[in-house]
């Protein structure tokens, strides 16, 4: 600390020992966090390295690392995109309902109830998905195969258990719903009161007020929230490991029995029984997941933080 160079600061010739210890440990804790993040990357790379350099035939599947990871990345992205497409509009509507439509007295309680969805552990979602959600969706899959079969997404044949990519995506949607709606709620409630009242004073209906004053202000917040949700959906592990009946491969068919697995679910399923190079391969796939989620999260934070620069006047 170079306090002596700051002129407005009162001259402090010697800093007390307690101060120095305290400031030092606080700074140390901050730096430790940087080290941990760097450590995650370093240790994952060092453990993944044997798989990267190994001959292609030794990797599970026999076609090399990229051929092993590619379908997993595809499955991860597919499930996350389904979740995002389902959850984002729903979450925005919920956020609007809680901030501008719900009775004032109940709004806080409703927000809390939605937040409870975020508190439920991932493994319990998996239980619910396989016991309640998947069987409930089977009639829909049969119907979709018969009536929407011309769309490649619903080509079928419909899975009799319901443990499909679509089920996994829907479950992820439920899991990321509270994240997106919490952030949307926050930005919507921060929309400048003057703008809202001006809109209402000019005779706008409530929806027109929201369209003109709230949504433009909250747009980047919603985008950031959706990307944070995407980050969560990409890394979700056990719910998918339990629900999805994965068979590998790349397919856009969402309702059949053959589904691509996701990186995280694949690690959870394979890791406990793996040894040697298989472990390194799984860690390499985990590294890929880490990089993807890191990129998504950084982008999301950048979008969300950029909002702080906006004044209420644009």
Interacting residues with other proteins between 54 and 93 (CB under 8 A)? 89-90, 93
Position 235 contacts other proteins (CB under 8 A):
yes
Question: Residue 291: which residues within 8 A CB-CB, separation 6 or more?
Answer: none
Position 32 contacts other proteins (CB under 8 A):
yes
Instruction: Output the CA angle 30-33-38, nearest 5 degrees.
Output: 135
Number of residues that bind other proteins (CB under 8 A): 92
Nearer to other proteins, 111 or 253 (CB): 111
Nearer to other proteins, 28 or 152 (CB): 28
Stretch that binds other proteins, among 154-162, 185-193, 203-211, 212-220 (CB under 8 A): 203-211
- HSE-up of residue 55 (Cα within 13 Å, Cβ side): 2
Nearer to other proteins, 254 or 304 (CB): 304
Stretch that binds other proteins, among 127-135, 148-156, 190-198, 251-259 (CB under 8 A): 127-135
Least separation, in Å, of the C-beta of 52 and other proteins?
14
**Which of 128, 157, 161, 200 is the binder for other proteins (CB under 8 A)?**
128
Position 107 contacts other proteins (CB under 8 A):
no
Nearer to other proteins, 13 or 314 (CB): 13
3-state secondary structure 123-143: HHHHHHHHHHHHHHHHHHHHH
Position 44 contacts other proteins (CB under 8 A):
yes
Position 300 contacts other proteins (CB under 8 A):
yes
Sign for the pseudo-dihedral over CA of 239, 240, 241, 244: positive
Position 215 contacts other proteins (CB under 8 A):
no
Angle between helices 165-189 and 104-119 (to 10 degrees): 140
Nearer to other proteins, 23 or 252 (CB): 23
Nearer to other proteins, 218 or 251 (CB): 218
> Are 255 and 29 in contact, with CB atoms under 8 Å apart?
no
Least separation, in Å, of the C-beta of 238 and other proteins?
5
Q: Which of 260, 99, 236, 248 is nearest to 166 (CA)?
A: 260
Q: Which of 117, 237, 235, 129 is nearest to 179 (CA)?
A: 117
**Which of 56, 63, 67, 101 is the binder for other proteins (CB under 8 A)?**
101
**Which of 276, 309, 311, 314 is the binder for other proteins (CB under 8 A)?**
276
Least separation, in Å, of the C-beta of 149 and other proteins?
20
Look at residue 246 and give its three-state secondary structure. strand
Binders in 158-187 for other proteins, by CB under 8 A? 174, 177, 181
Least separation, in Å, of the C-beta of 124 and other proteins?
5
Binders in 279-298 for other proteins, by CB under 8 A? 279, 282-283, 286, 289-290, 293-294, 296-298
Token reading at 64: 């090399």
> Are 63 and 248 in contact, with CB atoms under 8 Å apart?
no
Position 113 contacts other proteins (CB under 8 A):
yes
**Which of 234, 243, 244, 246 is the binder for other proteins (CB under 8 A)?**
234
Position 27 contacts other proteins (CB under 8 A):
yes
Please count the other Cβ atoms lying within 10 Å of the Cβ belonging to residue 9: 9
3-state secondary structure 171-238: HHHHHHHHHHHHHHHHHHHCCCHHHHHHHHHCCCCHHHHHHHHHHHHHHHHHHHHHHHHHHHHHHCCH
Question: Residue 225: which residues within 8 A CB-CB, separation 6 or more?
Answer: 91, 179, 180, 181, 182, 183, 184, 187, 300, 304
């Amino acid at each position: 600390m170079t306090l002596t160079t700051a002129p407005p600061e009162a001259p402090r010739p010697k800093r007390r020992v307690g101060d120095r210890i305290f400031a030092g440990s606080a700074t140390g804790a901050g730096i430790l966090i940087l080290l941990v993040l760097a450590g995650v990357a370093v240790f994952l790379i060092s453990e993944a390295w044997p798989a990267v350099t190994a001959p292609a035939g030794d990797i599970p599947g026999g076609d090399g690392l990229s051929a092993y990871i590619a379908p997993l990345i595809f499955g991860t992205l597919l499930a996350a995109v389904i979740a995002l497409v389902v959850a984002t509009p729903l979450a925005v509507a919920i956020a609007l309902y809680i901030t501008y439509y719900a009775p004032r007295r109940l709004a806080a309680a409703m927000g809390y109830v939605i937040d409870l969805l975020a508190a439920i552990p991932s493994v319990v979602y998996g239980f619910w998905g396989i016991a309640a959600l998947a069987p409930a969706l089977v009639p829909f899959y049969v119907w979709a195969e018969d009536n929407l079969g011309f769309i490649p997404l619903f080509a079928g044949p419909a899975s009799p258990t319901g443990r499909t990519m679509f089920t996994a995506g829907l479950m992820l949607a439920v899991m990321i719903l509270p994240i997106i709606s919490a952030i949307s709620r926050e930005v919507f409630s921060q929309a400048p009161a003057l703008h809202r009242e001006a809109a209402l004073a000019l005779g706008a209906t409530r929806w027109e007020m929201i369209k003109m004053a709230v949504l433009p202000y909250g747009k980047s917040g919603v985008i950031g929230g959706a990307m944070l949700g995407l980050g969560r959906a990409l890394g979700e592990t056990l719910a998918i490991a339990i629900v999805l009946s994965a068979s590998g491969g790349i397919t856009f068919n969402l309702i059949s029995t053959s589904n691509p697995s996701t990186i995280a679910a694949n690690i959870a399923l394979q890791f406990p029984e793996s040894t040697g190079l298989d472990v390194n391969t799984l860690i390499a796939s985990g590294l890929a997941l880490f990089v993807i989620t890191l990129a998504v999260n950084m982008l999301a934070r950048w979008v969300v933080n950029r909002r702080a620069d906006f004044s209420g006047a644009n």
